[in-house]
Amino acid sequence: MKIENGEIAALLLRVADLLEIQGANPFRVRAYRNAARTVEASGEPIRDLVDAGEDLSALPAIGDDLAKQITELVKTGKLARLEEIERAVPPSLAELTHIGGLGPKRAQRLWKELGIETVDALEQAARAGKLATLEGFGAKTEAKILKGIEELRAHRARTRLSDADTIVAPLVQYLKDFKGVKSVDVAGSFRRRRETVGDLDLLAIAAKPAAVIRHFTKYRRVKDVDLAGDTRATVRLDSGLQVDLRVLEPASYGAALLYFTGSKAHNVKLRNRAIDAGYRLSEYGLFRVKKGAKEPKRDVTSGTRVAGKTEEEVYAKLGLPWIPPEMREDRGEIEAATRNKLPRLITVDDLRGDLQMHTTWSDGQNSLDEMISACAERGYEYCAITDHSKALAITGGMDAKALARQQRELADVVERHPEIHVFRSMEIDILKDGALDLADAAIETLDIVLVAIHSHFDLPAAQQTKRILEAVTSGKVHILAHPTGRLINRREPYPFDMEAVLHAAKEYGVAVEINAHPERLDLDDVHAMRARELGVTLVIDTDAHSTSDLDLIHYGVEQARRAWVEPKDVLNTLPLDALIRRLHGQPPKAPSGIRSKRR
DNA sequence: GCCGTTTTCGGCCCGACTGTTTTCAGTCG
């Protein structure tokens, strides 16, 4: 059984949920959640580490006990600890805590006092008015639980980052237009540029917080107001997206921005660092605390505030350089910052060209001339035209004859565009058996060979891996495009051995794509980070199907930044002549070799 | 259950808001 990191993490989280309902030591519960995070964030399959006999307790948040448990899980597919707990607590109780407003304590009481074990049973009891008979439960709680069940059933997916971008812009403007509002920022996973966001965290500076909160709850797209206090409110928009707003003072704005940007794991580590240095860190600032002073109820701004106006100030007081939001996931960035070894993250300006785009020769909306002009307008030194091959008939994919015709037109078009170098390329399908969907003779007319899978997503993992490796090691290929085939919130990645493919890409000098399209973002941040660790060259491109799609490039760059990618890791940061030399020298193991014919 | 240039034991992040409490627990982020 080949267990994936995601499955291991899910089981650890399940143990945590059930332990919590049992009323276990909260720090023990946290330990399981922390370990789950480590597993989830590992680009390398944990099963490979186990197979290699490596010591898992070397990983952060995993000690001797969890190392043993995870090893057992990988080897046997079973987790004795979980089975033990599931004998004591009905497993279905874990789902109850996923209902908004219902946590482990009350789930336990519902079970023990009313015998409720499932969401269905809970709904029945709530409708029958039985919940309100419980000490501490009232009519409002009952109504809130019913609403929470409804939302759980609606099973709302996380919102794609690009969708969040379009929702955020008018809302931020609405708040900024309100009298007395000095600034509005979006924090949270949105600011960290995660591929999806669960909710939006807005921060504002304003003279009269309560008035801003009221204004916020009256935004035309607000469907429900979950809570609204003097400085904070939570609403749900008609799109289903939850939005939190906090209104703050300038003196604590940086601390709040830091705090609400997260991630939670990054914050916890920073707070511990603050404590070690004799401070208290909260969203109100960094405060010097007197030794031993631990009054039970204190003013949140008591003590001496030593930083808080800006993020830079807070990091500096903690002995750290400012850390870019995309890196704040507790994947070693605080340690790197401590040693002053933060990477110089790639930016959009580092890219000198876009190496995947489509035209009317297959399924693109714009002509060769329009796409090339648009690339030139964006200041690129080069671009590559990568229309589909014939196997993808629905896109009007080209065979060798069509490719030849396209190249004749392209020769004319490039004459008119001396300001940009155009690579002859093609997005060639990897067929079911791993062969490429274009004859070798035609492949040899290409400057860049880009390959991808668009069919037979449901092959067994071993066969899918073999298929991809066949292409990657063929000696004909420069770029492996959207390697997993996933579409965010729509299609899961097809199963295959990513680790094997990345090793092969490294060996054969094949660049692996971070597809910038906000629906793909493929590779994702975790795999891109793994690729970078292995020394695999990445390429960031848009897969544009229209000229306006070229502007989506920043999504790819943002994911790359989350993977700590530097300019040197990316093929299309190379100047034109260096890129051409590189293409000539590649693939290193080419049996017959493909040669770039143009300079 | 993890972790350790003060510790192998004793710590483990901080605050807002709600509901049903007459002083606070539970939940959330």
Least confidently predicted of A40-54, A174-188, A415-429: A40-54
Report if residue A598 sits inside a domain.
no
Q: Name the residue closest to the C1' of B13 by its CA.
A: A268
In this prediction, residue A476 carries a pLDDT of 94
The CATH number that applies at residue A57 is: 1.10.150.110
Whether pLDDT at A434 is above 70: yes
Residue bearing tokens 């990618």: A565
The domain boundary, picked from A274, A308, A338, lies at A338
Q: How far is the CA of A273 from the C1' of B11 (A)?
A: 14
| Choice among A49-53, A467-471, A501-505 with the minimum mean pLDDT | A49-53
Whether CB of A539 is under 7 Å from strand B: the answer is no
CATH code: domain of residue A466: 3.20.20.140
Tell me, what's the pLDDT at A154? 74
Arithmetic mean of pLDDT, A101-129: 89
Q: What is the mean pLDDT of residues A423-445?
A: 94
CATH of the domain at A273: 3.30.210.10
Does A17 contact strand B, using a CB cutoff of 7 Å? Answer: no
Total domain count, chain A: 4
CA of A144 to C1' of B18 (A): 11
Q: What is the pLDDT of residue A589?
A: 43
Q: How confident is the model at residue A293 (pLDDT cuts 50, 70, 90)?
A: very low
A263: preceding bond cis by omega (within 30 degrees): yes
Strand B atom within 7 Å of A183 CB? no
Is the CB of A101 within 7 Å of strand B?
yes
What percent of chain A has pLDDT above 90?
62
Q: Which domain holds residue A279?
A: 253-338
Residues A55 and A93 in one domain: yes
Torsional sign, CA A198, A518, A429, A473:
negative
Count of CA atoms in the C-beta half-sphere (13 A) of A551: 4
A292, A308, A338 — which closes off a domain? A338
Residue A239: per-residue pLDDT: 82
Burial class (CB in 10 A: 0-12, 13-18, 19+), A296: exposed
pLDDT at A276 over 80: yes
Nucleic strand B near CB of residue A192 (< 7 Å) = no
The model's pLDDT over A228-258, given as tens digits with 9 standing for 90+, comes to: 888 899 998 888 889 999 999 898 999 999 9
> What is the predicted pLDDT for the residue at A147?
85
Looking at the domain assignment, is residue A596 inside a domain?
no
Same domain, A435 and A580: yes
The pTM score is: 0.85
Could you check: is the Cβ of residue A445 within 7 Å of any atom of nucleic acid strand B?
A: no
pLDDT category of residue A288 using cuts at 50, 70 and 90: confident
Bridge partners (DSSP) listed for residue A140: none
pLDDT for position A520: 94
A573-590 pLDDT, tens digit each: 999 999 999 998 754 444
